[in-house]
Every structure is written in C-alpha cells, then in structure tokens.
Structure 1
C-alpha cells in the first residue's frame, strides 16, 4: 500500500479529479500541476488535507506546497496510484504556457533566462561583500580597513575581488549562454556571442560616455557606414536580442544545411550574421533603450525617492504572486552594470524579511499545530530569501499577515529610499542581504531591516490577537 494513498486521492479530488490534470511534476517542496480547468479547484478542501501546507497558481501552473522530502514520496505514490504518469518540469511548463497571455509568456521567458544564472550572481555578490569587509574603512577598525592595518591580507582581498567580479565582467556571456539555450539554440554559441560583446579590443561600455563627450569613440568603416566599435559590459538588452537572433538563425540553418557540413557552416554563419547585426543595429538601439529604462527608474528614485520606494516596497510581494517580479531582474542587472549599483534589490530584501516576520507572528498567535509548524519553518526560509512557503503557506492563506507584511515592507522601503541605499550586486534576499549593500549605506539599511523585521510582526500579532481572534485557527 502506498504511504500517502489517502492523501493523494484527497488532493486529486480537491483539484477537480484525476481527469482535470493535464501534466504533473514536482520540485523540492511542491507538486506542480498543469490543470485543464483551475476553476474546479476547491482550495479550502485542499488546504484542509494534513500534508498540504498551502497552494497557489502562477504562470499557468497550480502548485501544492507539501514540504521537502515528503513531496517526493507523494509524487511517487500519485504516479503509482493513477494514470497521470510522470512528467518533467519542462513538460508541465510547456503545457502551462499554452494558457498564458503574451505578457505572462514574456515574463516567463525572462525568468527562464535569468534564474539559471542567479547562483553565479548571488555567489559573486557574497564574495564582493567579503571583499568589502576586508577593504572597507571603519567597519572593524576606526578610520582604516583591515587590509590597510594588516597588509598581509591585501593579496587575499585582491584575489577574492577578481573571483567575485568575473561574473559581472562577463555578464553578457552568462546571459548569452542561458538566453540562446532558452530560445532553442546551442548554448556554447551563446557564450561565444556574449564574449564577443565584451571583447577587450572594443571600447568598454563604462568608458563610452567619456569617449563620446571627447569625440574619441572608435569606429569601423563598413562600406561607407560608420559603426561604433564599443562593447556591452554590464548591458542586458543587447545580449538578449542578439541571443534571440543567433538562436533563430541557427534553427533556420539546421534543416537547410547537409549534415556533413553543418559544423563548418552553421556556427560560423550564425555567429557572423548575429555579430554583424548586433554591432550595426541591435547593439546601438538596445543600448539606448536599456539606458532609457534605467534612466526612468533612476529619475524616479532621485526626484521622488519616497514615492518610488513606497510603491516598489508595496508592490513587490504582490508581483511575486503573479511572477512579474522576474521582469525586474533585468532592470537590476542593468542598474548594476552602470557601476552605481541597484536601489531596487535592497527593497526586495526588505520585502522578504517582512513576509518572514508576518509568518513568524502566526507562530505565536495560532493554536493550530499545523499552522504553527508551517509558520515557523517558512519564516526562516523567508529570512534567508525564499518567501514562497511563507507567502503561500501562511500569509496569503490568512490574508491579514500578507497585508501587514506589505505595509511594513513599504514603510521600510520608503525609509531606505530617502537615503538612496544601493547594492553593488544581487545577493541573498533576506537577513544576509546587508553583505551586498554598498559602503556608506549599511547602517541605514540595517535600520530598514529592523523596520521590516519588527513592524510586520507587531501588526500581524496585534491584528490576530485582538481583531481576527479565532477566525484563522
């Protein structure tokens, strides 16, 4: 007999029956379903099942939170007991994508491109934080840094800086790898394309403004057409569009070139076509577009920092529900590429902390042991940057903790935005987030962390104790 036979049947009954399931798979903590009709789901009935810790729908998928370890066995039992069969994550994604509108598909594409490279970026951010601790003045020693006080540490700091900054120096190569793979092309060619765009013989994008002002931008003469010979360090949009062109060119060539000479023709032609068009058309247009987008955000946070911070702090968690938050990864990367850091990512970190504190408050006010268990574990997860268990398992489920969390997040975000707090990198979006904050802003950010930690907890606790009372137990 399957260990979770009863629970499997109860879950399937609550989501509209086995016949309502198109595809099913699982991740570390959740069952992921592509359902034929999500209107048939009985959420109350589903979340009353003892092993279910919450549920939500996003990007065309209906996800049931089970928990690490248990979800593996539940999925195996479901496959064994039903005719649903095993599916991969890509199978479920493909089935879910058919139900998405164009905006959702666009956001999903960005998520599919950026999420695979996040481990490299987060690691780089943490190592840069370690380097800043070693080289920052006044952190541990008044008016000086560790490497200045102890020169024997200088070599280590330089090595850490090189290791950490590599991911940002060659960011177009990382994006090119992931983007070309996502668009169906050869990921190796995507790496080469990204490296072409940061070739050392090109004028660095960081030096471009000064060179342009001085009238010293190098150019190529292509049959009378003057093309600027500039690189795209720290840029996102140029490599995204160039990767799309490269992948589609490769896919177009494959069935038209004999197998015997594909290796000699496809890669050179695809790279040459996409490379030329990138330098001539795609690069200049998207370079200006990317700078325009970052300029809009920079203007808002410069001219109306309180408004910008409040709105982003208020809306970030709701955007997580829809998956829209992935679109802002591109903006973060673009802002980081300017060298001035990103003012959006620190708000993300505070939002995650706020969601964790709201969930933690439920641990103290709920008398339901299942709710207390989910609240305790999910709050720790949120404090370490993974908010889905806290949001979908606790806060959204009871509504008022989610509202209290975004109130606390928006106030904390307004505070740090008034002081233009910036991060030099994307890091772990929770309590360890202070490691990614630029020198000079850490104290303000720590105060923002205290606001995001304390205020949602107090608001949730008081509302739950004196207003909601037994409505959520």
Structure 2
C-alpha cells in the first residue's frame, strides 16, 4: 500500500489542503476538521485503497482505515497539508468551534470522563473479587485480604472528585492541579464521608450566618464538575489582570480560597440536589417503564451514537454508581452495540462484494468488543436496512436485560469485555447478560437477513 499516494489522493478529494483545518488519528480512524464538508467527494474516498468507510459526526469528518494503517496514512497526510505540529489539544479546540452547543457539551463531558474509565473499571473488578472472596468464604472475614481489597476497590470512588477535578480543569482550561485541590477540599477528612457510611449524621459549622453541614462529596460527580468550572473561570479571569511578577503567588491563592468557599457554601449542596434529582428521575423511569424503557433506550442508542452525544452518558453512569452502587444503563447500551455486530455479521454472510465482506467481518467483531463506529458507519448505516435491523436487536436485547435487572459495577466496557464488570454482581446477573447478548445479536442477524439490503 502506497501511503503517500493515498494521502495525496485524500487531499484532493477533501477539497484541497486549504479546506483542512486539523488532522489527528485514533486507533482506527483519521479524524479531520474541515472548513466546508460540502467539498468532500464521499463516494470517491470510500473507493480508495485501504478505506473501510467514511462519515461525518459531531464536527469531524472521519475516515476508517483500521489499526496499523491509519497512523501511516496520517503521517503522510499531515505532511501533504502542512499540519505536522497539530496536537490533540489544538484539534479539540478546532473541533469545538464546529460543533453546536449540545454536541459541544457532550464532547466536553466525554473528554472529562473517558480518561477516568481505567480507574473505574479497575475498582469494579476489585469489588467483584472482594465480593467473591466474601461469598465463597475463601478467607476469614477479618483477613488482611478483605481489609486490603476493600481499600483498593473503594479508593477510586472515594477520591472520584479529585480525579474529576483534575480532568475537568484540564478540559475547562484551568490548572489541573488546582482542580485536584478543589476535589481534595470537597473530600477532606474533616468532612463526613457519606460513601459507604449509611445514615451517619454530619456535624454543623456556623460561619458568617451559614449553617454548613460538614459532609463530604466522596463519590459524587455533579458538585465537583460545577466547582471546577467556576474555579477555571476565576483562574482565567485573574490571569488577565494579575501582573506576571506576582501571578504565581496571587492567582492560585485567590482561586483556591474563592472556589473553596463557593464550593462548600453553595455549589456542593446545590450540585448534590441536581445529582440526586437526575438519579431519582432515572430510577423512576427504570422502575416504572421496566422492559419498555429498555426497549426504547436499546433501540435508540445507536442513533445517539451517530451524534456523538453518547459519550456524555459516562457522567450519568458515574452518578448512578455513586448514588446506588450499580449501573443499569450500561447493559442496555451494550445490547445496542452487540446488535450492530450481529447485523454486520449478517451483511458479511449475505454480501456478494469482496470489499463489503472485508469490511463487515472485522467491523462486526469490533462491535462485539464494544467499538461500534466501524460497523455502524462502514457497513450498517451505509446500507440502511442493517442499521434498522440492529436497532430492532438492540431494542429486544435492551428489554430483556431491564426485565431481568442486569446491572454492572462500573462503566466504560460493553460487549464481551463487559462480562468482567457484570460477573461480580452475581451468577444470575452474568447468565442473563449473556442471554441478552445472544438475543440482541440473533435478533439483529435475523432481521438483517429478512430485510435484506441493496449493495452499491
């Protein structure tokens, strides 16, 4: 494969180098911000050697090349358009300028919570291991194993505001370490830790006419998001007026003290009310709607993926874990994702074009591992009816996992990898997840076979 030749062809088909604002790549896709996407020759791009699909989503034009190829194409492409010095931060800023407000909010929340996923997944797995050791009595209840694993598994949730503070400040343009400090203030040992302490009552501190409940925000999401946003605004405003000679002394001091008072007196209590309101609403819909809620959410989720807004759900899922200790949304999303894989598998077997088969099979297995963009944009959405069939499979699978109360103890994993965060919640939970998996994939496969599709 001649990567330099592909890059030259891409530049021409994208409307010339002057139409390319920014270019980066992920594991499988070349991600571009363009001035005018109407200049793109979509059909010609999809016929290029190595291209497995192309689509526009949330302000980005993305071209799927696959692992091991995309980085080599990117290297040649940035040389052609003169964007060798563009990094991820520059790309994100260019991207945000192209987004509508809703997409911009979703992208912001995604950038904050996606980096935290490894910590949440690790904690979920450790909680599962701890639960199994207790349930099967592998060790004595007072064993050092129990004590230490309890510390290891709960740590990420206890310091969650610190993790979010760091990540959010980085996203909001503030100093990430000051964001971590604000998270530290809101989880200080002087405050009652509500995470895992049940009905313990906090003490009250009388300050300037306020009665401050000395309760911490361990495991919470909304309060630290609000607080870090305010902190970043204060910091950036101060840097505009404070002389450079004293900036290091004055700006952090004033930022922390103003944000600290605001967070404890106002933002924290208000954020808790908002967070609990979101959880209460979701619980009501989940408990009242039952299987119908799973049917609707599972059927619509892939449409939400197209907009890119689905990444913002991590914030809601983190809130559920903090408030009720389980995530009942992720199993629904997983059913929608694997259903896309089932539809892609049917396209592979039913298709007569070699190129379609080359794309459909690996894209389908990618969906089973939780990565759906290749199969959605490269196969199912392209032929339309397989996408509809996948929505049907996601709806039926979603209804089943809600009906059987399947839950996870973390967020961030779907498909086959999600077994790791479903299994710790019990054998029945695991079995029902696998049954739902089979239902979603099977329904999507059969629906695709029946509906058919017309190949170009």
What band does the TM-score fall into relative to the shorter chain? over 0.9
Distance 1:85 1:268 in 2: 38
Larger mean Cα displacement after TM superposition, 87-96 or 201-210: 201-210
Q: CA RMSD in A?
A: 2.4
> 3-state SS of the aligned residue for 2:211?
strand
* 1:274 matched to 2:262: no
1:164 counterpart residue number: 153
What pairs up with 1:338-349 in 2 under 5 angstroms? Answer: 338-349=323-334
| 2:183 paired with 1:194 | yes
Relative to the length of structure 2, the TM-score reads 0.92
CA distance, structure 1, for counterparts of residue 248 and residue 115 of structure 2: 27
Task: State the match for 2:420 in structure 1.
Answer: 435
Task: Determine the structure 2 residue equivalent to 1:298.
Answer: 283
**Cα distance 1:84–1:258, how it changes in 2: closer, same or farther (>3 A)?**
closer
CA distance in 2: counterparts of 1:277 and 1:427, whole angstroms: 32
Q: Distance in 1 between matches of 2:198 and 2:233?
A: 32
Contact 1:126 1:427 in 2 (8 A): no
User: Residue 9 of structure 1 aligns with which residue?
Assistant: 8
Aligned pairs for 1:222-371 (under 5 A) are 222-371=207-356
Q: Distance in 2 between matches of 1:181 and 1:191?
A: 10
1:378 and 1:387 in contact (8 A); partners too: yes
Structure 2 counterpart of 1:55: 54
> Does structure 1 conserve the Cα–Cα contact (< 8 Å) formed by 2:314 and 2:411?
no
Name the SS for the 1:178 alignment partner.
helix
Is the 2:222–2:271 contact (alpha carbons within 8 Å) kept by the matching residues of 1?
Answer: yes
Give the 3 Å change call, closer, same or farther, for CA 426–83 of structure 1 in structure 2: closer
Superposed displacement of residue 158, structure 1: 4.8
- The yes-or-no answer on 1:127 pairing with 2:126 is yes
Which deviates more from structure 2 when the two are superposed, residues 253-262 or residues 97-106?
253-262
Matching of residues 138-153 of structure 1 within 5 Å: 145=136, 148-149=137-138, 151=140
For 1:135 and 1:407, the matched residues in 2 are separated by: 40
When normalised by structure 1's length, the TM-score is 0.89
CA separation of 1:80 and 1:132: change in aligned 2, threshold 3 A: same
The corresponding residue for 1:41 is 40
1:427 CA displacement: 4.6
Q: Helix, strand or coil: the match of 2:284?
A: helix
Match of 1:423 among 397, 403, 408: 408
Structure 1 stretches of 5 or more lacking a match? 137-144
Q: 1: CA distance between counterparts of 2:391 and 2:134?
A: 35
Long gaps (5+) in structure 2: none
Greater shift in the superposed pair: 260-269 or 69-78: 260-269
Count of aligned residue pairs for this structure pair: 453
Residues 454, 157 of structure 1: alpha-carbon distance in 2 compared, 3 angstrom cutoff:
farther
Q: Is the 8 A contact 1:357 1:379 kept in 2?
A: yes
C-alpha deviation, 1:379, in angstroms: 2.0
Supply the distance in 2 between the matched residues of 1:150 and 1:228 (Cα, whole angstroms). 39
